[in-house]
Amino acid sequence: MNQENSLSSQKLRGYLFAIAATALWSGNFILARGLSDSIPPISLAYYRWVVAIVFLLPFCIKPLMSQMNLIKVNILMLSLISLLGVTVFNTFIYFAGQTTSAINLSLIAITFPVFILIFSRIFLKEKISNNKSFGVVFVLIGVALLISKGAINVLLNISFVEGDVWMFAAAIVFAIYSMLLKYKPKGLNVWAFQFSSFVLGLIFLTPFYIWEIATTDTVVQVSDDLILGVLYVGIFASLFAYVLWNQSIHLIGAPKAGMIYYTIPIFSGVLAYLFLDEDITMNHLYSVILIFTGIILANKEFKKKKLSR
């Protein structure tokens, strides 16, 4: 009984961590679009990780010093994880925010978990159960209803631009990153892992940051909104969200955590209502019902009942 309660508690914490990370990341998508005229994409990504590293450093000095040998031994895997999850993934999102529309951005964003399921099946040989497949269908219908506001012609008339390609690339990168988290060094403190990932990711990003400054004429328009936006993506969408997401992967696995990512249009809708004065309609409520039904169905573990003779 105690073991069952422990497993239930572990799963609950895993789902709560995934929900919290997704809520924080929804703000990152809004700022990717909202700050696109104020700062170039690579610069935004670069300053984001600088802020994250500065705020994370006080929590990491002790575990870093004690586990430096473990980090050195696993530097190749840590570098790959950092390159995908820190350098490439978020920079692609900021490039996407430069050119794609909000409706396209939201639609493509929810393909992250689909790629996780597909890659888990192909590379990890994990089975996709019937209830998980049906859950994905429910979620996709709910998200399509939310994005199109109930008008199917909105979805049918979508045209893809350069930003959409960046978002699809980001989706693939994020799926691979989430799967690689299974192979992060065992015994490595969560703070040491996060800090080393951010530092390595920033190192990989630095040459591209220098290139952007040298080759573009875009001037960073410093304002209170930009400063607050950079602080948000650096602290909440980076530090807190990544720690929560990685712990969620550890507790419930990438496929189940990935299903929670489908809730990002819901959180984005709430943020739009609070900060952009957009209305929450019955269409939003119907979408919420479908999305959460799909998530519950996809994550439900059905036990086979033995027939008594």
> 134-178: per-residue pLDDT in tens?
877 887 787 777 666 667 676 666 666 788 889 889 988 988 888
Confidence class for position 43, pLDDT limits 50, 70, 90: very high
Q: What is the mean pLDDT of residues 193-198?
A: 92
Confidence class for position 298, pLDDT limits 50, 70, 90: confident
Query: What CA–CA distance (Å, rounded) separates 118 from 3?
Result: 31
> 197-208: per-residue pLDDT in tens?
999 999 999 999
Q: What is the DSSP letter of 74?
A: T
Q: Given a cut of 90, is residue 84 above it in pLDDT? A: yes
Dihedral angle sign, alpha carbons of residues 237, 240, 246, 248: negative
Dihedral angle sign, alpha carbons of residues 201, 258, 94, 271: negative
The tokens of 19 are what? Answer: 């929900």
* CB-based contacts of 26, cutoff 8 Å, min separation 6: 264, 267, 268, 271
Q: What local confidence, expressed as pLDDT, does residue 3 receive?
A: 64
- What one-letter code names the amino acid at 295? I
Q: Which range scores top for mean pLDDT: 191-205, 258-272, 294-308?
A: 191-205
Query: What CA–CA distance (Å, rounded) separates 33 from 97?
Result: 5
Query: H or E element: which one contains 13?
Result: helix 2-34
The tokens of 85 are what? Answer: 């999850």
Q: Tell me the pTM.
A: 0.77
Query: What CA–CA distance (Å, rounded) separates 110 from 107?
Result: 6
Q: What local confidence, expressed as pLDDT, does residue 83 receive?
A: 97
Q: Given a cut of 80, is residue 277 above it in pLDDT? A: no
Query: What CA–CA distance (Å, rounded) separates 212 from 222?
Result: 17
Identify the three-state secondary structure at position 157.
Answer: coil
Delimit the domains of the chain by residue range.
Answer: 9-127+159-252
Confidence class for position 4, pLDDT limits 50, 70, 90: low
Query: What CA–CA distance (Å, rounded) separates 230 from 31?
Result: 9
- What one-letter code names the amino acid at 81? I
Identify the three-state secondary structure at position 249.
Answer: helix
Q: Given a cut of 60, is residue 308 above it in pLDDT? A: no
